[in-house]
Structure 1
Amino acid sequence: MDQTLMLGVEGVQKTILHGGSSEMPRFITGTKVTFHFRTQLCDDERTVLDDSKTVGVPMEVVIGNMFKLEVWETLLTSMRPGEVAQFWCDVTHTGMYPMVAKSLRRIAEGKDPVDWHIHTCGMANMFAYHSLGYPDLDLLQKEPKPLYFVLELLKVEQPSEYNRESWALSDEERLKVVPLLHGQGNKLFKLGRYQDASNKYKEAIICIKNIQIKEKAWEAPWLKLEKMGHTLTLNYCQCLMRSEEYYEVIEHTTDIINQHPGVMKAYYVRAKAHVEVWNEAEAHTDFQKVLDLDPGMKKAVRKELQVLNMRMEEKREEDRQKYKGMF
């Protein structure tokens, strides 16, 4: 079958390559759609940018969940299960594709799709060019172009037919699930299941970041979410400490401190990480900042400084033994 259709949406043309085998499904808010996709440039070679079949994992989108590439909802809701169709979309619909593709590629590479720990000034983002990490996507970001999307609709599930993960939730539902994830993380931490706890904290942080990006920076709703994110990030750092990922702890706490210099706990956690990697001067500086912000921490800081002194003495003795026969 090869039938060209207009979907009633300007800048979109559909060509059915293989007809579906069932009735047209109901697409309501919360419907989960599973599909394969191939993205191609509109050049003579039909250069392939991405192909989910090559990765071996189909894509999932929840209808009505504000997916970044909005046109995909329009395309998918015109299809039947089993159908394969090619869609030509002009640049008014493809501008967000490089960002979406970056996330999908990071997932395929086993990386975090969201650089949630990176804080960058909004004004800097507006005027500075940031590479996406993939040359072909960088080029498409600089010079947006029409694209072909070849979609194969595999499965359509109504909201009651599947367990909804946090990525499939609305913003309101995400806000409700954050404290649940936080509590689950705390319980797992107390049980010594640090990797499981860190996954819960990280999932909650991603929920918050997905909501926060839609708020105006530094206004009350944004700041409330920012504070929630700090608490979860510091809990996540406690898990990293148990896994001896001290430099990552220093990175995350430094991000917080650079944006919000008054967060005492960030200095305290960073100081403890500095202790573990023998950064004596940095640890002393951070512990002094803790006392400046909260004099009530004097007893806890004194105890940590004793640990630091002991570790530094052990390090010096170790170095003496190591280099004793060299001179």
Structure 2
Amino acid sequence: MADMEETLMLGVEGLKKTILHGGMGDMPRFITGTKVTFHFRTQLCDDERTVIDDSKVVGTPMEVVIGNMFKLEIWETLLCSMRINEVAEFWCDTTHTGLYPLVSKSMRRIAEGKDAVEWQIHTCGMANMFAYHTLGYPDLDELMKEPKPLFFILELIKVQQPNEYNRESWALNDQERLNKVPMLHGQGNKLFKQGLFEEATEKYKEAIVCLKNIQSKEKAWEAPWLKLEKMGHTLTLNYCQCLLRMAEYYEVIEHTSDIINQHPGVMKAYYLRAKAHIEVWNEAEARQDYSRVLDLDPGMKKLVKRDLAILTTRMEEKNQEDKTTYKGMFEPARGGGLP
């Protein structure tokens, strides 16, 4: 069919569409909140048509929700031009592809079984990501430094209206996300009290992600941003309390240190970090943090005194164990000497 090969313009500058396989039925309704499931392949516009990402290789299709501030807005435009089962190739110039490396990083982390928004929990937003000068993938770093036109080959699998699926946090708008945070916070606290620490961390983490998504659209260090930052700290510290109970001490030190580096007056961050330092035998660091806790809140004196007594006892026990170990190592075996 002639129209299968015809290059179609979508009325958007820097964009060309070629239908590779015609879809079926009428055009779906793409209203705000519609969930779209599709496969994609991303290629460079070089002679080899180098493949950057391919969801079919991963084995999992992509999902986006229309009108939900997805980082790569152009994909909404492309998908809204398609019918079910249609396969189309879109050429997009650099105006539309600049943020692709960030989107790709998130998708790759999900495919690797990592938390795509893990970095958001302990940094203060997107700007911090750029401070590290790397996305962790050399090909994406290259694209980030020098954006290029890209080919996106999309296959539209399914279109679900807002009332046809359960909307997870990522599918909510900002107001819905904000409304969900106190509910998740309360659920996390309840699970913590029941001793279900792993389940509680999931609730806290989901609430943090909701907040960070909203916060990324605010101007850093202005009042709305700071309000969200404070809410995020409370949740992150609750998350750390769960991690302490789960013996994830180094992760506690990492998250609390991030808060302290940005906001040196958060007493609870020092307190939780001190407790984590005790568990990994960092005596000097623990004492330093407890000293800072007392500077910020003298009312903590009784708790700090109790913890320091535990620290002293544990260090004495460890020193005694070390002495015994070393003594055994350097004492010659009975009846012995060297052979």
- What's the TM-score once normalised by structure 2's chain length? 0.93
Give the C-alpha shift of residue 119 in structure 1: 3.0
Q: How does 1:83-94 map to 2 (within 5 A)?
A: 83-94=86-97
Q: 2:314 aligns with which of 311, 315, 324?
A: 311
> Do the aligned partners of 1:240 and 1:248 also contact (CA within 8 Å) in 2?
yes
Matched, 1:97 2:106: no
Tell me by how many angstroms 1:123 deviates: 7.9
Give the equivalent residue in structure 2 for 1:7.
Answer: 10
| RMSD across aligned positions (CA) | 1.5
Q: Is 1:143 matched with 2:146?
A: yes
Q: Which residue of 2 aligns with 1:234?
A: 237
The answer to whether the 8 A contact 2:39-2:55 is kept is yes
Q: Is the 8 A contact 2:121 2:205 kept in 1?
A: no
* 1:246 match: 249
Say whether residues 1:276 and 2:274 are aligned partners. no
| Structure 1 residue 122 displacement after superposition | 8.4
Does structure 1 residue 22 correspond to structure 2 residue 25?
Answer: yes
Q: Which amino acid aligns with 1:283?
A: A
The answer to whether structure 1 residue 116 and structure 2 residue 120 are counterparts is: yes
Q: Is the 8 A contact 1:35 1:154 kept in 2?
A: yes
**Candidates 34, 37, 41, aligned match of 2:40:** 37
Question: Using the alignment, how far apart are the partners of 2:309 and 2:235 within structure 1?
Answer: 28
> Residues of 1 paired with 2:314 and 2:132: CA distance?
44
Deviations 1:118-159 (A, max 9, x none): 436988877x57111111111111111111000000000000
**Following the alignment from structure 1 to structure 2, what is the Cα–Cα distance between the partners of residues 219 and 312?**
44
Matched residue, 1:61:
64
Q: Is the alpha carbon distance of 1:71 and 1:45 closer, same or farther for their aligned partners in structure 2, counting shifts above 3 Å?
A: same
State, as a whole percentage, how many aligned pairs show the same letter: 75
SS at match of 1:231: helix
1:144-223 matches, within 5 Å, as: 144-223=147-226
Cα-to-partner distance string for 1:162-185 (whole Å, 9 max, x where unaligned): 000001111111100011111111
Amino acid at match of 1:45: E
Aligned residue in 2 for 1:75: 78
Greater radius of gyration (CA):
2
What is aligned with 2:337? none
Using the alignment, how far apart are the partners of 1:2 and 1:34 within structure 2? Answer: 24
Q: Structure 2 counterpart of 1:116, which letter? A: Q
Contact 2:125–2:215 under 8 Å retained in 1: no
Report the CA distance between 1:3 and its aligned residue.
Answer: 3.0
Query: What is the identity, as a one-letter code, of the residue corresponding to 1:139?
Result: E
SS of corresponding position for 2:82:
coil
**Distance between the aligned counterparts of 2:97 and 2:264, measured in 1?**
39
SS of match in other structure, 1:116: helix
C-alpha distance in 1 between matches for 2:193 and 2:185:
13
- The CA distance in 2 between the partners of 1:27 and 1:132, in whole Å, is 32
Query: What letter matches 2:75 in structure 1?
Result: W
SS at match of 2:319: helix
Aligned 8 A contact 1:87 1:149 in 2:
yes
CA separation of 1:220/1:58 partners in 2, compared to 1, >3 Å: closer, same or farther? same
Q: Provide the rounded CA distance (Å) in 1 between the counterparts of 2:82 and 2:261.
A: 48
Counterpart position of 2:49: 46
Rounded to whole Å, the distance in 1 between the matches of 2:79 and 2:129 is 32
CA distance in 2, matches of 1:123, 1:84: 36
TM-score (norm 1): 0.96
Contiguous gaps of at least 5 residues in structure 2: 331-339
Q: Helix, strand or coil: the match of 2:64?
A: strand
Deviation string 1:268-319 (CA, Å, 9 cap, x unpaired) is 0001001111111111111111111111111111111111112112211211
Report the Cα offset of residue 203 of structure 1. Answer: 0.9
The equivalent of 2:295 in structure 1 is 292
Please state if 1:257 is matched with 2:260.
yes
What SS is found at the alignment partner of 1:46?
coil
Within the candidate set 204, 228, 244, 1:225 is matched to: 228
One-letter amino acid matched to 2:17: K
- How far apart are the structure 1 equivalents of 2:204 and 2:125? 24
CA distance in 1, matches of 2:47, 2:98: 21
Question: After superposition, what is the alpha-carbon deviation per residue over 1:238-277, rounded to whole angstroms, capped at 9, x for unaligned?
Answer: 1111111101101110111111111110110001001111
Structure 1 122/79 Cα, relative in aligned 2: closer, same or farther at 3 Å?
Answer: closer
Tell me if the contact between 1:3 and 1:17 (Cα under 8 Å) persists in the aligned partners. no
